[in-house]
Amino acid sequence: MLTHLISADRCATCRLCCNFRRSSAWETPILTPELADLLRLRGLPLRSRSDGSITFSLHFPEHAPESFCANCPALNPDSGCTLPRELRPIECRLWPLRLMRISSGALVLGLYDACPALSPAVRKQMIREATGTLLPTLLRIADEQPGIVRPFHPAYSVIWQE
């Protein structure tokens, strides 16, 4: 969605968004049922969470510590995400933005501060676009896919609040 600001090539060399500690496996992206069907056809391992949402299955060795990191099964460790853009989960397409709810219940838009692609100029432009022309689209996505609205996490700067 913001590939004119952060290129796929940049993400392919970073991959921070595409591997998950055992303790943060809850952060794997949520898939719509339609997308899940398409990804199953590509042979990707998926799992259902207790709330019914569908996501990628991660492989952790049996006695792996909580800090052990597993790659998303759609990741090629050498070249990055193997999925064409139209088959990427919406949360992946939004990164490093995330829709979240704070304790009051208000919807907020967060920007992941540790994203290495966020130079001061890119950060400034991303905030301008995300809180400007892109905001109606983000609000529609939050409305249509409420499951992707995550609890607030302090690793994100709040750049917009309803």
Give 3-state DSSP helix, strand, coil % of the chain, rounded to 5.
35, 25, 40
Tokens of 160: 């917009």
3-class DSSP state for residue 37?
A: helix
Please say whether the beta carbons of 143 and 115 come within 8 A: no
92 binds ligand SF4 (CB under 6 A): yes
Report the C-alpha gap between 92 and 97 in whole angstroms.
9
100 binds ligand SF4 (CB under 6 A): no
Give me the phi and psi of 109, to 5 degrees please: -110, 125
Tokens of 44: 């990707």
Q: Which stretch binds ligand SF4 (CB under 6 A): 46-54, 70-78, 127-135, 141-149?
A: 70-78
- Residue 76 identity: N
In the list 1, 31, 58, 81, the residue contacting ligand SF4 (rule: CB under 6 A) is 81
In the list 95, 148, 156, 160, the residue contacting ligand SF4 (rule: CB under 6 A) is 95
Give me the phi and psi of 145, to 5 degrees please: -130, 70
110 binds ligand SF4 (CB under 6 A): no
Please say whether the beta carbons of 36 and 79 come within 8 A: no
123 binds ligand SF4 (CB under 6 A): no
Nearer to ligand SF4, 44 or 108 (CB): 44
Q: Which stretch binds ligand SF4 (CB under 6 A): 62-70, 75-83, 99-107, 127-135?
A: 75-83
Tokens of 148: 């992707």
In the list 31, 35, 70, 88, the residue contacting ligand SF4 (rule: CB under 6 A) is 88
In the list 29, 30, 70, 108, the residue contacting ligand SF4 (rule: CB under 6 A) is 29
Residues of the shown chain interacting with ligand SF4 in the complex, contacts defined by CB under 6 A: 6, 10-11, 14-18, 29, 72, 74-75, 81, 83, 88-89, 92, 95-96, 115-117
